[in-house]
Amino acid sequence: MDGTTRKDIHPGSYVVIVQKADQKTGRGTQGIVKDILTSIAVHPRGIKVRLETGEVGRVQFIQTS
């Protein structure tokens, strides 16, 4: 599942994000969502979140089960 729709992402979701510094390489960072920072319902580049580790980036994938 991609990370472009806000309603699919909740605090506690396990996701893969791309941080601003990694946008050129596309290197992903895995973690658990602490806060959702994007207020609009859909964002074409991914919903911006803060992980429990404090890292901020746009969701690329939502891990299921």
pLDDT reading at 64 higher than 90: no
Q: What is the pLDDT of residues 23-36, one digit of tens each?
A: 999 899 999 999 99
> Can you name the residues that pair with 49 across neighbouring β-strands?
36, 57
Q: Which two tokens stand for residue 8?
A: 């699919």
- Give this prediction's pTM: 0.92
Give me the residue spans of the domains in the chain: 6-62
Whether domain 6-62 has CATH 2.30.30: yes
Helix then strand then coil, % of the chain, to nearest 5: 10, 40, 50
Is residue 39 scored above 90 in pLDDT? yes
pLDDT band, very low/low/confident/very high, at 65 (cuts 50, 70, 90): low
Q: What is the mean pLDDT of the chain?
A: 95
